A and B are shown apart, each in its own frame.
Chain A
Amino acid sequence: MYGVVAVYLDHAATTPLLPEVLEAYTAALAVAGNPASLHAAGRDARRMLEEAREKLAGALGCDPVEVVFTSGGTEAINTALKGIFWARTRAGASARIAASGVEHHATLDTLAWLAGREGAEVVDVAVDGDGRILPAALDAALAGGAAVATAIWANNEVGTVSDIPALAAVAAFHGVPLHVDAVQALGAVPVDFRGSGAAALSVSAHKIGGPVGVGALIVGRRTAADPLLHGGGQQRGIRSGTQDVAGAVAFALAATLAVERRGAAAARTSALRDRLIRGVLEAIPDAVLRGALAGPERLPGNAHFTFAGCDGDSLLFLLDTAEIAVSTGAACAAGVAELSHVLLAMGVDEAHARGALRFTFGASTTEADVDAVLRALPDAVARARRAARRA
């Protein structure tokens, strides 16, 4: 399923298509018809699309009209941050944007662009040593007003789950819309748009067994967002462009299955994850588990460690050689692992941040996978450490 890799522990990067989803996806791909067309073929496509929208809305706890399908998480986040910033500042709101330092690059780079090109002022929301976004810090950041605030529900690197309802309550108190990046949270923690208090929420299909190239931005009915893409005016005019019926069908099914299976999957993966954490800390005493302790404040399928004195590059190489696929954190264009901005924002020093490894579990993960890591890792850490010392 993953090429030559025997042990795939990088589900935060992407997940395999669920067989049911693959079947529904390919079936929907075979149906011709533009959902905006008025004839029968168009109506059929439209019906499939709207059923998918309703299904996804059901899975996410929002109204169908609040679902804006996108090409993925990155587009959803861009649309939310730029769109709400533009709409709000046009209506006279402050040009400030509140965000933590542990947000995904899709958020941080969008904010940097808004700061450089659109006059936004980005206000940092402090996190604690586990990467938790602090409601008190958001309260302080919003004291002077803001166009929009944004928070990552579950961190993609260290797996820490922030208290979104508490953050949303703070934002609501200040009258500032909160966008939530729920890309990693969906399927792993209970995600309920209405209950969360968020004004907008971004999700992606391929992190939960759906196809790459499909995502959604949930835009609350009281939230205004200017479009990035102009054209036919589809999806409340927020996202023009012929709608991807098959992608919507596949995403809706994947989200439904992920939500249905969440409890059982979380119990299973967190047990495996805990086995890995125990084993690593036992075998490598100076390994440091990063992020929140295992429990409701940590993604069930995430284990993240730093090994001081190692290069993440070397660790990844050695594990790859042992046919174990892991990640050092977030990948970048040239394929170079840079120091994690998440770890640095959490106050982790450079020597530790350099030697970061993230293990993320999914439906296909087994005990044998965990044991393979526990067999290979101690030697890999020792070797990587020698390599770093010599170089």
Chain B
Amino acid sequence: MRVLAAMSGGVDSAVAAARAVEAGHDVVGVHLALSRMPGTLRTGSRGCCTIEDAMDARRAADRLGIPFYVWDFSERFAEDVVDDFVAEYAAGRTPNPCMRCNERIKFAALLERALELGFDALCTGHYATVVTAVDGTRELHRASAEAKDQSYVLGVLTADQLAHALFPLGATPSKALVRAEAEARGLAVAKKPDSHDICFISDGDTRGWLDERIDFAPGDIVDGAGALVGRHDGALAYTVGQRRGLKIGTPAPDGRPRFVLEVRPVTNQVVVGPREALAITELAGARHTWTGPLGFDPAVAFSCDVQIRAHSDPEPATARLLDGELVITPDAPLFGVAPGQTAVLYRGTRVLGQCTIDRTVSAVPARVGA
């Protein structure tokens, strides 16, 4: 196959590309320039946006003996990922930009360009597995390395995208093995620190970054009954489930800690309450996708596991498609669910699909719970 290997400059994508080469594919490396004003040197642990990262990717490609290009997706990235991230926060929601990037850049803009330019598949360093079923349909599954499993952020992929995806690291039991392999292959990125946090916020200060883009105004922190319990510097900086950083003067009557239950962008209010008021019994979203043929009718309630964050545990649930909305009912209430997050549905290790959460139903309505 002609394979386009997306190379961030990190160890995972470098080893993934190496394995694609070794598997006999005709591989070309590409680094996506995602920042309009890339920094020169990498700082801390953020890896993908600097010229140094592009150079790391280039040197890995040199080592593998494959052609290498830098393609500019900075405009698409700014519109589809960065602007979306800001807009979601401005709407009081909690977005996942990595997911958006997979959905709209890597497995959309990049994959489509690759296919038109004559490639058969896109290879990335994601830890996830693609299994071909007996009938030839492709299924997305969790990676063998449980701690590194990235199937969650790939939950947005559709059957068409999956048909052209190559994840050579999916069956590797641990990241340590990937690093050892990089070392053995003479890849200089073998010891490069893992990247985390949001790649386009270079110093990791999300609040400070958002501050320059969103009009944060001081406002009220209220309890579920609407009583004023404190002031905040900007409601949009808060995330549902957050406990720390609430500067509440008035203690709760029962003395128990309080959590953010809701962010109200229109009235610039943060609603707080006790932990049990965070318990969510239903979540739903209209923007949903499936990773392939399900083999059953999703309009009829089906059992599955739901995962709401990249590194949270899957929780048993029942889901169904109702009036175009994917409605998910966890067996036990879920905590820390915020609109804007993605709910990914699993059955066993298989990723079924996902939706962006639009609304949640609380076990204890906030007004009562406070």
Q: Known contacts A334-B33, A334-B38, A334-B54; decide if A313 and B72 are in contact (CB<8 Å).
A: yes
Asked if A335 CB lies within 8 Å of chain B CBs, one says yes
User: Are B112 and A313 touching (Cβ within 8 A)?
Assistant: no
Q: Is A337 an interface residue (CB 8 A)?
A: yes
Q: For residue A330, give the distance in angstroms from its CB to the closest CB of chain B.
A: 14
Residues from chain B with Cβ under 8 Å of A338 in the complex:
72
Shortest C-beta distance, B51 to chain A (Å), equals 5
Q: Which residues of B contact A (CB under 8 A)?
A: 28, 31, 33, 38, 51, 54, 58, 67, 69-72, 74, 76, 108-110, 112-113, 115-118
The interface residues of chain A lying within 8 Å CB-to-CB of B115 are: 390
A-B contact pairs, 27 of them (CB 8 A): A313-B69, A317-B28, A317-B117, A318-B117, A318-B118, A321-B67, A321-B118, A334-B33, A334-B38, A334-B70, A335-B31, A335-B54, A335-B69, A335-B70, A336-B74, A383-B116, A384-B116, A386-B116, A387-B112, A387-B113, A387-B116, A390-B112, A390-B113, A390-B116, A391-B108, A391-B109, A391-B112
Complex CA–CA separation, A388 to B76 (angstroms): 12
Residue numbers in A under 8 Å from B116 (CB-CB): 314, 383-384, 386-387, 390
In the bound complex, what is the Cα–Cα distance between A313 and B118 (angstroms)? Answer: 14
Closest to A391 in B: B109
Closest to A315 in B: B117
Whether the Cβ atoms of B113 and A334 lie closer than 8 Å is: no
Residues of A close to B67: CB separation below 8 A: 320-321
Main secondary structure of the interface of A (DSSP, over half): helix
* A residues apposed to B, CB below 8 Å: 311, 313-314, 316-318, 320-321, 333-338, 383-384, 386-388, 390-391
Can you name the residue of chain A whose Cβ is closest to the Cβ of B51? A334
Question: In the bound complex, what is the Cα–Cα distance between A334 and B58 (angstroms)?
Answer: 10
Chain B residues whose CB sits within 8 angstroms of the CB of A336 once the complex forms: 33, 70-72, 74
- When C-beta atoms are compared, the residue in chain A nearest to B4 turns out to be A317
Separation of A142 and B74 alpha carbons in the complex (Å): 38
On whether A314 and B54 interact (CB within 8 A), knowing A320-B67, A391-B109, the answer reads no
Query: Are A337's CB and B72's CB within 8 A?
Result: yes
Of all chain A residues, the one with the shortest Cβ separation from B109 is A391
B51 adjacent to A317 (CB under 8 Å)? no
Q: Quick one: closest A residue to B74, CB to CB?
A: A336
Interface centre among A314, A337, A387, A388 (most CB of B within 10 A): A387
For residue B35, give the distance in angstroms from its CB to the closest CB of chain A: 9
Q: Are B113 and A391 in contact (CB under 8 A)?
A: yes
- A321-B2 Cα distance, complex, nearest whole Å: 12
Nearest CB in chain B: distance from A283 CB, A: 20
In the bound complex, how far is the Cα of B112 from the Cα of A314, in angstroms?
Answer: 12
Note all chain A residues with C-beta closer than 8 A to B28.
Answer: 317
Q: With a CB–CB cut-off of 8 A, which chain A residues contact B71?
A: 313, 336
Question: Within the assembled complex, what's the spacing in Å between the Cα atoms of A334 and B71?
Answer: 10
Q: Which B residues are in CB contact (< 8 Å) with A384?
A: 116-117
Q: In the bound complex, what is the Cα–Cα distance between A281 and B51 (angstroms)?
A: 37
